[in-house]
Amino acid sequence: MTDADVPTDRPASDPEADRPPRSRRRWYLAAGGVVAVALAAWLAFGYFGVQAAFIDDEVDQAGPVFDSGASADDGSTATTAAAADDTAGDDDGAGAEDAAATPPTTAAPAISVVAEGSFVGRSHPAAGTASVLSDGTDQRFLRFEEFATDNGPDLNVYLSTAPADADEGAFDDDFVDLGDLQGNIGDQNYEVPADVDLDRYQTVVIWCVRFGVAFGAATLA
């Protein structure tokens, strides 16, 4: 066959011929959108559900130690009466001489509970007590004992002006953030800034920053 016999009027390739029909393209787009939404929902809620159900962050902190040296776990004050009795009971008087030569021990300030409340569940179960401890100075600690709630993402400890039974959106209107929740189970301590007025911020809230919900709350009184 010569070049003259080769057809020159072959139709050009139609780009639309290589594409799927419009209905199929719409189906692909819709399916992709559904998958994307499902993936986002799983990341937001599915992982959170697994985390809350199976992964607990347990803590067991001792009572706070104040700058004054006072400790909430130290039940002793100054020298004990038993030691004084031992020195007084020495017949030869050596005990009295030793006691006179030993300088008296300065007692650490006593720890007192200035406010306390029990946790109630809000969007999740919550239990335990929240107490404000003071050594008589401006330093104060908020302590959780026998505390338990569900685990979750971005949980923080708030002091809020809203009451414990307030609407969900009121807790983060006027609040003081004491930091990340250290554990969803167990005893733990949070220092309260000296300038925080606890007559105003009377509610402890376990607040989920990511979803804007309160896991639990306690009224300090």
- Span 30-68, pLDDT tens digits: 666 666 655 555 555 555 555 555 699 999 999 999 999
Domain boundaries, the chain: 22-51, 56-63+110-219
State the SS3 of 26-86: HHHHHHHHHHHHHHHHHHHHHHHHHHHHHCCCECCCCCCECCCCCECCCCCCCCCHHHHHH
How many Cβ atoms from other residues are within 10 Å of residue 135's Cβ?
22
Residue type for position 55: I
Which has the minimum average pLDDT: 86-90, 127-131, 132-136, 212-216? 86-90
56-63+110-219: CATH number: 2.60.40
Q: What is the pLDDT of residues 117-149, one digit of tens each?
A: 999 999 999 999 999 999 999 999 999 999 999
| Per-residue pLDDT, 208 | 97
| pTM recorded for the entire structure | 0.66
* Ranges 13-17, 79-83, 154-158, 211-215: which has the least confidence: 79-83
Distance CA 212, CA 172 (A): 8
pLDDT band at 27 (very low <50, low <70, confident <90, very high): confident
DSSP letter at 83 equals: H
Percent of the residues in the chain that have a pLDDT greater than 70, as a whole number: 61
Ranking 93-97, 122-126, 142-146, 200-204 by mean pLDDT, the lowest is 93-97
Say if residue 81's pLDDT is above 60: no
